[in-house]
Amino acid sequence: MDDDRSHALTPSARPPATSQLLDRIEDGDARALSRAITAIENRAPECEALLRALYPKSGRAAVVGITGSPGSGKSTLVDRLAAAYAASQRRVGVVAVDPSSPYSGGAILGDRIRMSDLEENPDVFVRSMATRGRLGGLAGATADVVTVLDAAGRDPVIVETVGVGQDEVDVVRLADVSVVVLVPGMGDDVQAMKAGILEIGDVFVINKCDRPGVDALERALRAMFALDESVRTPDAPIVRTIATDGRGIDELRDAIDRRGGARDAPPERARRRRAARARLTAVLEERLARLAHDHLLDDGEFEAAVDAVERRERDPYSVVDEVLGRFRFGRAE
Amino acid sequence: MDDDRSHALTPSARPPATSQLLDRIEDGDARALSRAITAIENRAPECEALLRALYPKSGRAAVVGITGSPGSGKSTLVDRLAAAYAASQRRVGVVAVDPSSPYSGGAILGDRIRMSDLEENPDVFVRSMATRGRLGGLAGATADVVTVLDAAGRDPVIVETVGVGQDEVDVVRLADVSVVVLVPGMGDDVQAMKAGILEIGDVFVINKCDRPGVDALERALRAMFALDESVRTPDAPIVRTIATDGRGIDELRDAIDRRGGARDAPPERARRRRAARARLTAVLEERLARLAHDHLLDDGEFEAAVDAVERRERDPYSVVDEVLGRFRFGRAE
């Protein structure tokens, strides 16, 4: 083995955690929270040290995932729900990973992004997540941000996502309580929820419940709970809301809290164990992917292989076999 | 180094490609296509051998990505477009990776899935992709399916996806021509498209163009093309359609073909090179992830670590450091 080409898989440079930043995060300082989350999004050098220090202090918050199609009124609902928690002396964290969320910023097509009332509320910390370009996936980054908010004493931590793609399903799986927002009369909406979201809902919301079709939607949900064996919470409460005028929001908060209060029951323990396993696996995969980028891909030979693949002279499978075949992976001692 | 724990990174068992299946695929046999795609979805042992053999025969088809929110009428549009290509003596492949697509099957809530007319058309091959549980991501699996259809002589290959999550954006990036479907009067729709989709559209469709707001939407798009420097195709055509009655479909086909015809221009070459690089990287990452699962995670020690992480006694970052720190990664000779 050529030792010059042999690398331990652990990162070499690991700056000491900024203990001052950590202290401020634990005090719940919003600017310190923002800074830590930016470090996570950018994979800044200090981010792992921060997460190592904060992880043991996390695990107290109820993590509430809220998902629904664009147009379901989900963002307004999250707004109101966060305000309801704040009104009952809770300090709330909100992570918006939905590209259609007003929090996720960036007005396009001349649309003005609605400024949330929450920005004025010191008991609610709102942060959007970029949905692109993160090695290791959106779910991993979101899990890290939830850890920071949880360690900072935010409880609940609400994760808002649009329930369509695999990334979004993975994000919902992080949650202790999953809330699915539906709207009467939107067949498309229901179609869009097929990717595993309905099965994992613990609490269902029928928002805009002054619209026609609300009874039919509730009956359809109950029928699904009864028929589909993959449904996780067959007795899931169905709460009717009109987020725009606040109707049903307190009932929703109570339904979430009842579900969150069951967190030490055996099925919930099993779920948290699965979440811990997924977390470990995600960190491991991210590290391996980074390794591939650092040690295999920055190579003139790799560029030549890209050319050959583009011209169809070679196929990507045999190129990867060849590249990996040159390396050996085994215990150091 | 303990050789028993040292592994070459190439898969050991690689069954010979079923040459009969390959012959039938190249003849365009629809049942052989289905079988090959099922093998890819399941990561069956024969799948890499198939892809190795088919990859050199691919690269001829125009790959057309079509994206739009649920409710945009995208599936009907894809139906009509595929039929229009078939009517002009083209053999078309359609891959639906949209969980809200009627092709993706699985009726829920008592909804009947619309049966497409296309199922009767021998010149159109339609296949849906599952959106879950695939190591290496949906984009990688979709790229493999496109390779099979392309090698089987399907041209164009239409990839239908819902443009919301990162996975879906990655899928659209595979395409030679990206079509974005919008509907007048749906502000939500536009919000939902923010995750990079508008920037990469080459052809825009305003479907349901008999609705109010069509002129305003077209003006807004033109304004965005002029203002946003990240827009890839500032002169992108905007085609008005009513998919349900076929209006504008031939114009859309022509707009796609004009764009597809420019595939050998320098910017398109650069894009195909980026696609080849992404393909190689995806295969490499999938292989490394599989390695992690096979050689690092099936371990009683790992289970103990999961317990410690779940109880917050350890953090996932230091566990992964420890696990990887035991291994060495380097050239075999």
Assign residue A84 the CATH number of its domain: 3.40.50.300
Q: What is the model's pLDDT at position A11?
A: 45
Distance CA A280, CA A288 (A): 12
- The range of the structural domain enclosing residue B240 comes to 59-263
Let me know: does B310 contact A279? Beta carbons within 8 Å.
no
Tokens of A143: 């899990």
pLDDT tens-digit map of A226-283 = 776 667 777 899 999 999 999 999 999 999 999 877 666 666 677 788 788 878 887 8
Mean pLDDT by 10 residues, chain B (333 residues): 40 55 88 89 82 90 86 88 94 79 38 49 83 56 91 94 65 82 69 58 92 87 75 86 96 92 67 81 78 68 87 89 73 56
Can you tell me the distance from the alpha carbon of A92 to that of A95, in angstroms, rounded to the nearest whole number? 10
Contact A325 B58 (CB under 8 A): no
**Which of B8, B224, B280 has the CB atom closest to A108's CB atom?**
B224
CA-to-CA distance for A100 and A68, rounded, in angstroms? 11
Q: How confident is the model at residue A220 (pLDDT cuts 50, 70, 90)?
A: confident
What is residue B133's predicted lDDT score, i.e. its pLDDT?
A: 43
Which residues of B are less than 8 Å from A320 in CB distance?
Answer: 280, 283-284, 287
pLDDT of residue B77: 94
Interface contact A10-B331, CB threshold 8 A: no
Q: Which residues of chain B have a CB within 8 Å of the CB of A315?
A: 51-52, 55-56
Structural domain total, chain A: 1
Distance from CA of A286 to the nearest CA of B (A): 9
Instruction: Report yes or no on B168 lying in a domain.
Output: yes
pLDDT of residue B140: 77
pLDDT of residue B12: 40
- What is the rounded (10 degree) CA torsion for B166, B169, B173, B178? 180
Are the Cβ atoms of A309 and B279 closer than 8 angstroms? Answer: yes
pLDDT at position B282 is 78
Q: Residue A186 has what pLDDT?
A: 63
Euclidean distance between CA atoms B80 and B73, whole angstroms: 11
Q: Are A27 and A151 in contact (CB under 8 A)?
A: no
| Per-residue pLDDT, A298 | 61
Lookup: tokens for A98: 């939905």
The whole-number pLDDT of residue A125 equals: 92
Computed on alpha carbons and rounded to an integer, the radius of gyration of chain B in Å comes to: 22
- Evaluate whether residue A44 is within a structural domain: no
Is residue A299 domain-resident?
no
- pLDDT over 90 percentage in chain A: 26
Residue B202 lies in a domain: yes
Of B14 and A209, which is predicted with more confidence? A209
Among A2, A220, A325, select the one facing B8 at the smallest CB separation.
A325
Residue-averaged pLDDT of chain A: 77
Q: Could you give the CA distance from residue A190 to residue A194 in angstroms, rounded to a whole number?
A: 7
Residue A7: pLDDT over 80: no
Q: Is residue A135 part of a domain?
A: yes
| pTM for the whole structure | 0.68
Q: Give residue B220's pLDDT.
A: 80
The pLDDT of residue B110 is 27
Residue A141 has pLDDT above 90, yes or no: no
Query: Does some domain include residue B83?
Result: yes
pLDDT digits (tens, 9 = 90+) for A182-205: 888 765 445 445 545 677 788 999
The minimal CB distance from A220 to the residues B7, B109, B297 is found for B109
Which of the listed ranges A95-104, A265-274, A304-313, A324-333 does the model predict with the highest average pLDDT?
A304-313
Give the ipTM. Answer: 0.72
Please report residues of A whose CB lies closer than 8 A to that of B285. 288-289, 292
